[in-house]
């Protein structure tokens, strides 16, 4: 019938209902979901439908399922790195569409990275500094994909050092959605040397717990990128 609403599959409806319980807080991290037979009776669906719904929620990192006598499906404890996977597809689609360009991406990066640098300087631990140092690269390699991966790893580490998982949640898919060489085009000579120098300067300010210096270094870093990739 024209204009009639199409009902989603039963497994999708069940997954949506359970997701709403999880995201609203009615089901807390670590809490066990009702057993599969109980869900079958309560919802009035087959066991295969319940299992498909649970598989969907597990793929979205909302639940974990274990086997054995004490096994079952439990609400997952939030993990920024895993949850970011769900945002990556949307970021990638938008940043490769006609509606979002490099300027938009850099605008978002500025809104996130400048305050994140200041927070990282205040809150960083020795483990965070070790992780940041591990992302530094040799600009002499001059391989675009390697450099982009190292650049993304550095900024994800800065986001993590803020101690605020929301920065990490938003930052991870943002860097995964970075533009490729064919979109950015030719980079100026010495580009990666400057990126490396900027990273080292920002790391020095974070290590020194200099919030003002860190935010300034982050802003200058983005100013350079914006001018270089026009």
Each residue of 49-60: pLDDT tens digit? Answer: 999 999 999 988
Each residue of 129-162: pLDDT tens digit? Answer: 999 999 999 998 878 888 888 998 999 999 999 9
Which has more pLDDT, 173 or 177? 173
Q: Give the mean pLDDT of the chain.
A: 86
The pLDDT value recorded for residue 78 is 77
DSSP type of residue 140: G
Q: Does pLDDT of 42 surpass 60?
A: yes
- Collapsing DSSP states into helix, strand and coil, what is residue 143? coil
The pLDDT value recorded for residue 182 is 47
Instruction: Yes or no: say if 158 and 119 are a contact pair by the CB < 8 Å rule.
Output: no
Instruction: Yes or no: say if 79 and 169 are a contact pair by the CB < 8 Å rule.
Output: no
Which has more pLDDT, 210 or 171? 210
The residue assigned the tokens 């994140």 is 116
Burial class (CB in 10 A: 0-12, 13-18, 19+), 95: buried
Q: Does pLDDT of 4 surpass 90?
A: no
Each residue of 182-203: pLDDT tens digit? Answer: 445 578 888 999 999 999 999 9
Question: Using CA atoms, how far apart are residues 9 and 229, in angstroms rounded to an integer?
Answer: 46
Q: How many CB atoms lie within 10 A of CB 45?
A: 17
Which among 12-21, 197-206, 220-229 has the top mean pLDDT? 197-206
Q: How many CB atoms lie within 10 A of CB 86?
A: 14
With cut-offs at 50, 70 and 90, classify the pLDDT of residue 125: very high
Instruction: Yes or no: say if 19 and 25 are a contact pair by the CB < 8 Å rule.
Output: no
How many residues in total does the chain contain?
Answer: 230
Predicted model pTM: 0.67
Question: Using CA atoms, how far apart are residues 205 and 210, in angstroms rounded to an integer?
Answer: 5
207 Cβ contact partners less than 8 Å away, ≥ 6 residues apart? 124, 129
Q: Does pLDDT of 1 surpass 70?
A: no
């Amino acid at each position: 019938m024209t204009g009639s609403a199409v009902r989603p599959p039963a497994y999708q409806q069940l997954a949506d209902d359970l997701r709403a319980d999880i995201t609203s807080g009615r089901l807390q991290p670590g809490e066990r979901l009702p057993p599969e037979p109980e869900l079958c009776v309560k919802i009035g669906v087959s066991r295969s439908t319940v299992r498909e719904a649970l598989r969907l929620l597990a793929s979205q990192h909302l639940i974990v399922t274990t086997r054995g006598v004490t096994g079952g499906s439990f609400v997952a404890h939030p993990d920024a790195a895993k949850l970011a996977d769900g945002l990556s597809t949307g970021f990638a689609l938008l940043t490769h569409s006609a509606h979002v360009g490099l300027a938009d991406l850099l605008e978002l990066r500025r809104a996130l990275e400048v305050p994140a640098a200041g927070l990282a300087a205040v809150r960083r631990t020795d483990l965070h500094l070790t992780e940041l140092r591990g992302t530094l690269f040799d600009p002499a390699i001059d391989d675009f994909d390697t450099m982009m991966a190292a650049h993304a790893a550095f900024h994800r580490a800065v986001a993590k050092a803020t101690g605020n998982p929301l920065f990490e949640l938003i930052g991870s898919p943002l860097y995964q959605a970075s533009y490729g060489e064919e979109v950015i085009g030719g980079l100026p000579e010495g580009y990666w040397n400057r990126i490396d120098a900027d990273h080292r300067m920002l790391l020095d300010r974070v290590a020194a717990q200099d919030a003002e210096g860190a935010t300034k270094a982050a802003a200058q870093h983005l100013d350079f990128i914006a001018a270089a990739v026009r």
